[in-house]
Structure 1
Amino acid sequence: MEELKETLQKWQQVFREKGLDLMVMRFHEKRALLYVYRKSRLIQDLSCRETREILEAEGYVYEQYLQALVCLKERLLSGEKFPHEIGLFLGYPREDVKGFMENKGRNCKCCGCWKVYCNECEAKETFRKFKKCEQVYAQLYSGGRPVKKMIVAA
């Protein structure tokens, strides 16, 4: 556990230099669930009225982004039910997160990185771009490029 914490502190520094942050959401045995995010983007997303309404309906009370993250972390740790609103923290379209929650994961138009309830064509194009990006990064990593050099600065 100490080794993991030391490693995470080193990565937090690397990420901060690139405009990213890292938060440990949960530890389980020898594993950790990490949330890596761009603070500026998260603040923008969480200040949106529609996002706030969805989160408030799920019991979130926050003025600052860190308060919302703490609430998400507590919901993940509680284990009561999976917090599907996590999609709002991952940059998924609000309409799709809301659609997933309302439909309990059923009746989607298509599936990719998330289940799509609106804007199917746009989502499919995004999934295609993500897949291409994943392939490029996997190829670079396999070729010996260090992760530090692949992080895009904000």
Structure 2
Amino acid sequence: MSEDLIIKHCSPTLAGIKTANLFNCPYSSRLECECDVRRLNKMFCKKGIKVLPLKFSNGKALIYIFRPSKLAVDLSDKYACKLLESQGYHSHDAARCIREL
């Protein structure tokens, strides 16, 4: 995953303006993606940012880059909870919501 691609799709999250970004990234293999994700998590963990691959399909990975602390705050909002419930989410716990995502 190139730094240019991360900057293009995730600048608001990297700058602390937005909680998360979701984007597709091309990969030649799942192993290549997993290596990139580990490298990025080592680099970003000091800044409070986490990278998760949500899905692999047809040479692409769906990547979720987020700030766990901001996500927890967002999920504590009553309006956000109602919105998530209306979309079929059964929890207000960030980790569980991500698994459902």
Unpaired runs of 5+ residues, structure 2, are 1-29
Q: How does 1:1-154 map to 2 (within 5 A)?
A: 1-72=30-101
Deviation track 1:53-85 (CA, whole Å, cap 9, x = no partner) reads 01111111114211011111xxxxxxxxxxxxx
TM-score w.r.t. structure 1 length? 0.44
Percent identity (aligned): 26
The structure in which a higher percent of residues are helix is 1
The separation in 2 between residues aligned to 1:55 and 1:63, in whole angstroms, is 8
Please tell me the root mean square deviation across aligned C-alpha atoms, in Å: 1.2
- Give secondary structure in 1 for the equivalent of 2:91: coil
Larger RCO (CA under 8 A, 6+ residues apart): 2
The structure in which a higher percent of residues are strand is 2
TM-score w.r.t. structure 2 length? 0.65
- Give secondary structure in 2 for the equivalent of 1:66: helix
Unpaired runs of 5+ residues, structure 1, are 73-154
The separation in 2 between residues aligned to 1:27 and 1:68, in whole angstroms, is 19
